[in-house]
């Protein structure tokens, strides 16, 4: 069945440094969604990518969907302490499969 | 408008017991999905209901069941609880089918002793 792998598992950065998390699916996806979950909280929707090669930006966050619609990335420029949390990708192909997440910590 | 609500927020049960978790979607949303999130992992899809019909089922045993009511609220039932069922159970609502944006509720944290 469909599997979604996400790396790295953890990332610790100094405030102001950049951060990237990568997501790979074993099958072609209809779309991919990204979520952020703060410690003790619930996943909050960030964005959905649908088209092959699509790139979307939200302020310091850049999301990419691969040409084959099997991989995706989230890049954060100049991290801030408010970026702390776990970032999940979720691949959608009949059902929704979440990656294990990348836990980001930011040192002030 | 209220977001997705879930009850109870926390629950402690013992092995073999039964549990019912409840979810109210955002007003106007017709789809409810249930997820299980074990500590340190991503949410795992359990069920999706749309217009009171089951539209998707994840790889969970038959001990897990759900239903959706005419007002689009939903219940998740788990029978014969196991220690491994301890997790955060998340409900997500969306306007239509699964491929749309999902809005998660705060979850029910279940501990099975």
Choose the weakest-confidence range: A70-79, B88-97, B103-112.
B88-97
Residues across chain A: 108
**Percentage of residues in chain A having pLDDT higher than 90:** 92
A83-93 pLDDT, tens digit per residue, is: 999 999 999 88
pLDDT at B98 over 80: no
Q: How many CB pairs under 8 A join A and B?
A: 52
**Measured distance between the N- and C-terminal CA atoms of chain A, rounded to whole angstroms:** 41
> Which residues, other chains included, contact B39 with Cβ-Cβ below 8 Å and sequence gap of 6+?
B87, B88
Burial category of B102 from C-beta neighbours within 10 Å (exposed 0-12, middle 13-18, buried 19 and up) = buried
Which of A35, A95, A98 faces B98 most closely, judged by CB atoms?
A95
Interface test with B, best of A39, A58, A92, A96 (most B CBs within 10 A): A96
The mean of the pLDDT values for chain A is 95
Interchain pair A30, B101: CB under 8 A: no
A41-84 pLDDT, tens digit per residue, is: 999 999 999 999 999 999 999 999 999 999 999 999 999 999 99
Q: Which residue has the higher pLDDT, B98 or A3?
A: A3
Return the residue of B nearest to A43 by Cα.
Answer: B104
pLDDT at B1 over 70: no
pLDDT at A1 over 80: no
Interface test with B, best of A32, A37, A50, A95 (most B CBs within 10 A): A95
A20-47 pLDDT, tens digit per residue, is: 999 999 999 999 999 999 999 999 999 9
Q: Per CB distance under 8 Å, which residues of A are interface residues toward B?
A: 1, 4, 6, 30-31, 33, 35, 41-45, 48, 88, 90, 92, 94-101
């Amino acid at each position: 069945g469909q599997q979604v792998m996400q790396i790295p598992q953890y990332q610790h950065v100094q405030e102001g440094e950049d951060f990237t998390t990568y997501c790979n699916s074993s099958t072609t996806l209809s779309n991919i969604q990204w979520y952020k979950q703060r410690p003790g909280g619930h996943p909050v929707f960030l964005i959905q990518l649908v088209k092959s090669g699509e790139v979307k930006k939200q302020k310091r966050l850049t999301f990419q969907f691969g040409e084959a619609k099997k991989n995706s990335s989230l890049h954060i420029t100049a991290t801030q302490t408010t970026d702390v949390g776990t970032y999940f990708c979720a691949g959608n192909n009949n059902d929704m499969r979440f990656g294990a997440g990348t836990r980001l910590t930011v040192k002030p | 408008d209220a977001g997705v609500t879930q009850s109870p927020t926390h629950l402690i049960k013992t092995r073999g017991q039964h549990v019912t978790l409840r979810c109210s979607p955002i007003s106007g949303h017709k789809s409810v999905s249930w997820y299980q999130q074990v500590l340190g992992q991503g949410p795992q899809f359990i069920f999706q209901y749309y217009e009171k019909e089951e539209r998707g089922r994840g790889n969970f045993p038959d001990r897990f069941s759900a239903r959706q009511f005419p007002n689009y609220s939903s219940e998740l039932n788990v029978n014969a609880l196991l220690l491994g069922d301890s997790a955060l159970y998340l409900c997500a609502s969306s306007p239509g089918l699964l491929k749309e944006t999902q809005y998660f509720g705060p979850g029910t944290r279940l501990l099975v002793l």
